[in-house]
Structure 1
Amino acid sequence: MRVALFSGNYNYLREGANRALNKLVGYLEREAGCSVRVYSPVTDTPAFKPEGTLVPVPSVALPVRDEFRLALGLPHSVRDDLKRFNPQIVHVSTPDILGVRAQSWAIDRGVPVVASMHTLFETYLEYYRLGWLKPLVRAHLSRFYGRADYVVAPTPALVAMLRDLRGDEHVSVWSRGIDREMFSPTKCDMSWRRAHGIADDEIAVLFFGRLVLEKGIDVYREVLANLQTNAKVRALVVGAGPAESSFSAINRTVLTGHLDGEELSRAVASGDIMLTPSTTETFGQVVLEAMASGLPVVSADAPSSRALIEEGKTGILCQSTAIDEYVAAIERLATAPDVRKAMGDAARSASTAYSWNAASESVYEVYRSLVAQTY
Structure 2
Amino acid sequence: MTPRKISIVTETYVPDVNGVAISLRHLIDALVRQGVAIQLIRTRPRSAWTPVVEEIGCPGITIPMYPELQMGLPSRRRIEAAWDSFKPDLVYLATEGLLGNSGLKVAMRRKIPVLSAFHTNFHRYSSYYGLGWIKTLTLSWLRRFHNRTGGTLVPSDEIADLLQQEAFERVQVLPHGVDCDLFSPQKRSETLRESWGVTPDQQVLLYVGRIAAEKNIPLAIAAYEKARAANSELKFVLVGDGPLRDSLEKEHPEIEFAGVQTGETLSQYFASADAFVFPSVTETFGLVTLEAMASALPVVAFDMAAAHKFVESGSEGVVAEVDNDDAFIEALESLLSSDISQLGRQARIKAESLSWDAVATQFISIIEDELERRGQASSSTLRTLV
Query: Does residue 124 of structure 1 match 2:125?
Result: yes
The match for 1:220 is: 220
Q: How far apart in 1 are the matches of 2:188 and 2:109?
A: 54
The match for 2:13 is: 10
Deviation at 1:211, TM superposition (A): 2.5
Counterpart of 1:39 in structure 2: which amino acid? Answer: I
Q: Is the 8 A contact 1:146 1:165 kept in 2?
A: no
Q: Where do 1:9-88 residues align within 5 Å?
A: 9-32=12-35, 34-46=36-48, 49-88=50-89
Deviation at 1:250, TM superposition (A): 2.4
Q: Is the 8 A contact 1:247 1:253 kept in 2?
A: no
The match for 2:382 is: none
Q: Where do 1:246-261 residues align within 5 Å?
A: 246-248=247-249, 249-261=251-263
Q: How far apart in 1 are the matches of 2:348 and 2:156?
A: 20
Deviation at 1:5, TM superposition (A): 0.9
Deviation at 1:81, TM superposition (A): 2.5
Q: How far apart in 2 are the matches of 1:13 and 1:203?
A: 31
Q: Is the 8 A contact 1:184 1:269 kept in 2?
A: yes
Q: Where do 1:320-359 residues align within 5 Å?
A: 320-336=322-338, 339-359=339-359
Deviations 1:289-319 (A, max 9, x none): 1111111111022243201211221111123
What is the aligned length?
Answer: 370
For residue 66 of structure 1, give the secondary structure of its aligned residue in structure 2: strand
The match for 1:278 is: 280
Q: How far apart in 2 are the matches of 1:188 and 1:292?
A: 12
Q: Percent identity?
A: 27
Deviation at 1:115, TM superposition (A): 0.6
Q: Where do 1:301-320 residues align within 5 Å?
A: 301-320=303-322
Q: How far apart in 2 are the matches of 1:129 and 1:164?
A: 24
The match for 2:298 is: 296
Q: Do the aligned partners of residues 76 and 247 (structure 1) sit closer, same or farther apart at CA in structure 2, a change above 3 Å counting?
A: same
Q: How far apart in 2 are the matches of 1:303 and 1:265?
A: 22
Q: Do the aligned partners of residues 330 and 142 (structure 1) sit closer, same or farther apart at CA in structure 2, a change above 3 Å counting?
A: same
Deviation at 1:246, TM superposition (A): 4.3
Deviation at 1:132, TM superposition (A): 1.2
Structure 2: tracts of 5 or more residues without a match? 377-386
Q: Is the 8 A contact 2:238 2:256 kept in 1?
A: yes
Deviation at 1:67, TM superposition (A): 1.9
Q: Do the aligned partners of residues 63 and 144 (structure 1) sit closer, same or farther apart at CA in structure 2, a change above 3 Å counting?
A: same
Q: Where do 1:45-194 residues align within 5 Å?
A: 45-46=47-48, 49-166=50-167, 170-194=170-194
Q: Is the 8 A contact 1:219 1:321 kept in 2?
A: no
Counterpart of 2:269 in structure 1: which amino acid? Answer: A
Counterpart of 1:290 in structure 2: which amino acid? Answer: A
For residue 14 of structure 1, give the secondary structure of its aligned residue in structure 2: coil
Deviation at 1:9, TM superposition (A): 0.6
Q: How far apart in 2 are the matches of 1:335 and 1:173?
A: 35
Q: Please give the root-mean-square deviation of Cα atoms over the aligned residues, in Å.
A: 2.2
Q: Is the 8 A contact 1:219 1:277 kept in 2?
A: yes
For residue 254 of structure 2, give the secondary structure of its aligned residue in structure 1: coil
User: 345-354 or 364-373: which moved more?
Assistant: 364-373
Q: How far apart in 2 are the matches of 1:242 and 1:29?
A: 36
Q: How far apart in 2 are the matches of 1:282 and 1:28?
A: 22
Q: How far apart in 1 are the matches of 2:242 and 2:52?
A: 24
Q: How far apart in 2 are the matches of 1:200 and 1:331?
A: 21
Q: Is the 8 A contact 2:222 2:329 kept in 1?
A: no
Deviation at 1:203, TM superposition (A): 2.2
User: 140-149 or 69-78: which moved more?
Assistant: 69-78
Deviation at 1:206, TM superposition (A): 0.8
Counterpart of 2:297 in structure 1: which amino acid? Answer: L
For normalisation by structure 1, the TM-score amounts to 0.91
Counterpart of 2:215 in structure 1: which amino acid? Answer: K
Deviations 1:36-85 (A, max 9, x none): 22111123315x54442111111111233222111221242333223333
Q: Is the 8 A contact 1:11 1:50 kept in 2?
A: no
Counterpart of 1:120 in structure 2: which amino acid? Answer: N
Counterpart of 1:241 in structure 2: which amino acid? Answer: G
Q: Is the 8 A contact 1:235 1:250 kept in 2?
A: no
Q: Is the 8 A contact 2:185 2:295 kept in 1?
A: yes
Q: How far apart in 2 are the matches of 1:322 and 1:160?
A: 21
Q: How far apart in 2 are the matches of 1:325 and 1:161?
A: 24
Structure 1: tracts of 5 or more residues without a match? none
Q: How far apart in 2 are the matches of 1:262 and 1:96?
A: 31
Deviation at 1:144, TM superposition (A): 1.8
Q: Is the 8 A contact 1:221 1:247 kept in 2?
A: no
Q: How far apart in 1 are the matches of 2:182 and 2:344?
A: 16
User: 365-374 or 140-149: which moved more?
Assistant: 365-374
Counterpart of 1:243 in structure 2: which amino acid? Answer: L
Deviation at 1:320, TM superposition (A): 4.2
